[in-house]
Amino acid sequence: MKRMRELPSHDRPREKLAERGPQALTDQELIALLIGRGTKGRDVSQVAGDVARYLKDTGGSPSYDALIAIDGVGSAKACEIMACFELGRRYREEDLSGHRITSPADVLPLVAAWRDKKQEYFICITLNGAGEVIERRTVTIGILNQSLVHPREVFSDAITDRAASVILVHNHPSGTLDPSSQDIGITRQLVEAGSILGIRVLDHIIITKKGYVSLKELGHL
């Protein structure tokens, strides 16, 4: 791999982008532009290559801790990379307000991006009294357990939204649609907490690449 300063000026990411646009750059070149410079003993191209491989492995869902573990990526650069991904996600997202939920199938278009994630994402969709979507948020990322998916994390934003109800969703990277005992336990805990707060848990849906299953339809709510 050539070091950045060894490349002809017209082959450097900044010059390529200015002349041909961002679509002409590889992922590694785009990341190199974002990082800006390397560190002592590591050229920016090397660092960008490591970051690109990491992002490919995670499906474009970077974590701060994993990024700063890459040699040449410090706290500032990790934050910049995560900020870019979050901005891109927000600008890609459709306007959810007014989308009415009447069945589990109505939820699928709202969570399609999470069906093939390599980590478990727990998502909370808040609804108004008419069953229309107010907001969709990621609550936690990682293996689900009752300490991570705590009622205060799930319902704090729902209270701010003045939501009448919520729908819970999480993906199974393994591909299985069978709810685990942990899934069922978390669901019951959140149903009880929502009942106290006056916010109904309408359903908890498990999604995978192959399809979905509703815990309500299975009789767990």
**What pLDDT, in 10s, does the model give residues 14-45?**
788 887 788 788 888 888 888 888 888 888 88
- Answer yes or no: is pLDDT of 71 > 60: yes
> What pLDDT does residue 147 have?
45
Mean pLDDT of 72-90: 86
Same domain, 114 and 207: yes
Q: Mean pLDDT of all residues in the chain?
A: 85
Q: What is the dihedral of CA 23, 26, 27, 28, to 10 degrees?
A: -140
pLDDT band at residue 146, thresholds of 50, 70 and 90? very low
* CATH of residue 132: 3.40.140.10
Same domain, 118 and 60: no
> What pLDDT does residue 179 have?
93
Same domain, 141 and 114: yes
> What pLDDT does residue 3 have?
59
Of 187 and 118, more confident: 187
> What pLDDT does residue 202 have?
97
Same domain, 72 and 173: no
Rounded CA separation 221/213 (Å): 13
- 135 occurs within a structural domain: yes
Tell me the residue range of the domain where 137 lies: 104-214
Helix/strand/coil (H/E/C) assignment for every residue in 115-166? CCCCCCEEEEEEECCCCEEEEEEEEEECCCCCCCCCHHHHHHHHHHCCCCEE
> What pLDDT does residue 167 have?
97
Strand partners of residue 169: 123, 205
Same domain, 130 and 210: yes
User: Taking Cα atoms as reference points, which of 178, 174, 190 lies closest to residue 214?
Assistant: 178
DSSP state of 200: E
Of 141 and 107, more confident: 107
pLDDT band at residue 97, thresholds of 50, 70 and 90? low
> What pLDDT does residue 96 have?
65
Domain count for the chain: 2
Return the structure tokens found at 154. 């799930």
Question: Which residues have a Cβ under 8 Å from the Cβ of 26 and sit 6 or more positions away?
Answer: none
